[in-house]
Structure 1
Amino acid sequence: MPVTNIYKDQLGREVSIPYPPRRIISLVPSQTELLYDLGLDEEVIGITKFCIHPEEWFRTKTRIGGTKTLHLEEILTLQPDLVIANKEENTQEQVEYLMQHVPVWVSDIHYLDEALEMIESIGEITGKSEQADEIINNITQGFNRIEASKQDRAPLRTAYFIWREPWMVAGGDTFIHTMLGHCRLENIFAGTDRYPAIDIEHLRTRDCQLVLLSSEPYPFKEKHIAELQGLLPGVRVELVDGEMFSWYGSRLEKAAAYFRDFRERLGE
């Protein structure tokens, strides 16, 4: 008989999970990539249609809907012994339905420390603590180097765009906001809702120095740089890799170097 352990998730819930779990479903792209990097190829049986990394999993694993449009009965038919979800990226009603039937561990991440705690917890739950510790160490070293190199950088007043029609930006209390801080970029919408819709006219009054156009969830392209540049003369507009700013799993190993290179490219 498998051993069942009690683990606390990031909502503070106690979850009974078989150790180690053998049938895992991930409802979050960045956590799916983490499971791959932990070496859980055989154990992961289901992912969402947005779990594009790694490509081989995207092509071969069973897809159980989108992050907010889960195919609930299909998930239950797969008989998972662990579902990994996230408070922001998944819908509360759907996650609570799954909780009635299978073990669901939920992450809730706003800061780098919480991301590292999530990686450590999932490593422990899945019997991959050694691999998780290596990932955590790599991330920590990378971000320590950022902190050491950014002290002479003046913070740039920045708006991080995530959507068009309507224009929407990342506000405070978001992981994106935290990552902007690590880049020494001052989020001028830090005091707003998480993802407010904004008026470009209003942005002109905020002394904005830099606009970042994220590659996700809206797929901003080069043509949108010209559009924003015309609306905001004198403001620098740059495309950025949204996965680096918003994915809080093992992608953070790559994010630190990306942020250092990005600040060098800005040259300010």
Structure 2
Amino acid sequence: MKSIFPERIICLTEETTETIYLLGEQKRIIGISGFTVRPSKAKKEKKKICTFIDANIDEIISLNPDLVIGFSDIQADIAQKLIKRGVTVWINNYRDINGIFKMIGQVGMLVNQIEKSNNLIKEINTKLEVIKKKVKNFKIKPKIYFEEWYDPIITNIQWVSEIIELCGGENIFPASKKESLAKDRVIKNSEIIVEKNPDIILVSW
């Protein structure tokens, strides 16, 4: 019987590429995001077919994927174009750390590595617990500004805020973590950032 698991996967974002590599199933990946950093060898081994908001639809079709994996409302247009061309697309929409764990578990099911994905989740969770204990008695909580995108200025998603707090920091835009969509986390006036006077600035673009 032919395998029921996808064998020609395109990952539109880095996290699923990294997860599939960690599960030892990188042979299934045929295309990745040009923004992929981890693992470093992925960029050498796999074809780069997209950025975060743009993708070469014709090139993706030509690679004959049996699954394309993306993330969030920002990639909705890419997903729609591919679906209209008959491609199977899975858009993950996790917003918090628990959602990331669910994504890892779901990817594990997709590539037939449930046990490995469960072990990976446990390993990451153990590391998070160690960090929690280390920062528990920190006397100083640095004020953190996290910028997800620069034009327009978009501040952090919920899981970023959770990590900031888990590591002993204070998110200067705590209310933003309640907003699921990127458009609802736009900072319209950059002067607000200056006024909040963050101790540490992190950017992900």
Q: TM-score, normalised by structure 2?
A: 0.83
Aligned to 1:54: 39
Separation in 1, partners of 2:148, 2:63: 34
| Residue pair 2:172, 2:198 contacting (<8 A) in 1 also | no
Counterpart pick for 1:64 among 49, 59, 67: 49
Partner of 2:160: 176
**2:137 is aligned with 1:152:** yes
Aligned length: 196
Do 1:169 and 1:198's aligned partners in 2 also have CA atoms closer than 8 Å?
A: no
Closer, same or farther: CA 87–146 of 1 in aligned 2, 3 Å: same
1:31 offset after TM fit, Å?
1.4
For each residue in 1:24-74, what CA deviation from the matched residue of structure 2 results, as whole angstroms up to 9, or x when unmatched? Answer: 111001211111111122211111211233233212312212221111121
Q: 1:190 aligns with which of 152, 174, 178?
A: 174
Equivalents in 2 of 1:170, 1:106: separation in Å? 21
Gaps of 5+ in 2: 177-183
2:180 corresponds to which residue? none
Instruction: Tell me the secondary structure at the aligned position of residue 120 of structure 1.
Output: helix
1:105 corresponding residue in structure 2: 90
Q: Alpha-carbon deviation of 1:196? A: 1.7
CA gap of 1:185–1:194, structure 2 versus 1, over 3 A, is same
**RMSD of aligned residue pairs (Cα, Å):** 2.4
Among 79, 85, 91, which residue is 2:75 paired with? Answer: 91
CA distance in 1, matches of 2:42, 2:22: 12
Question: How far did 1:23 drift?
Answer: 0.8
Cross-structure match for 1:22: 7
Larger Rg: 1
Give 1:156 shift.
Answer: 3.3
Greater mean alpha carbon deviation, residues 115-124 or residues 47-56: 47-56
Structure 1 length normalisation: TM-score?
A: 0.65
**Is 1:128 aligned with 2:113?**
yes
Q: Secondary structure at the match of 2:174?
A: coil
Q: CA–CA distance in 1 between the matches of 2:105 and 2:126?
A: 16
Change (3 A) 1:132 1:199: same
Cα distance between partner residues in 1 of 2:154 and 2:77: 26
* Structure 1 residue identity aligned to 2:155: A
1:78 is matched with: 63
2:69 aligned counterpart, secondary structure? strand
Percent identical residues: 24
**Where do 5+ consecutive residues of structure 1 fail to align?**
4-18, 218-268
Q: How has the CA–CA distance of structure 1 residues 209 and 79 changed in structure 2, closer, same or farther, with 3 Å as cutoff?
A: closer
Query: Is the partner of 1:158 in helix, strand or coil?
Result: strand
Question: For residues 81-113 of structure 1, what are the alpha-carbon distances to aligned partners after superposition, in whole Å with 9 as ceiling and x for unaligned?
Answer: 11111015x421211221231221111122110
Change (3 A) 1:56 1:188: closer
SS in 1 for 2:7: coil
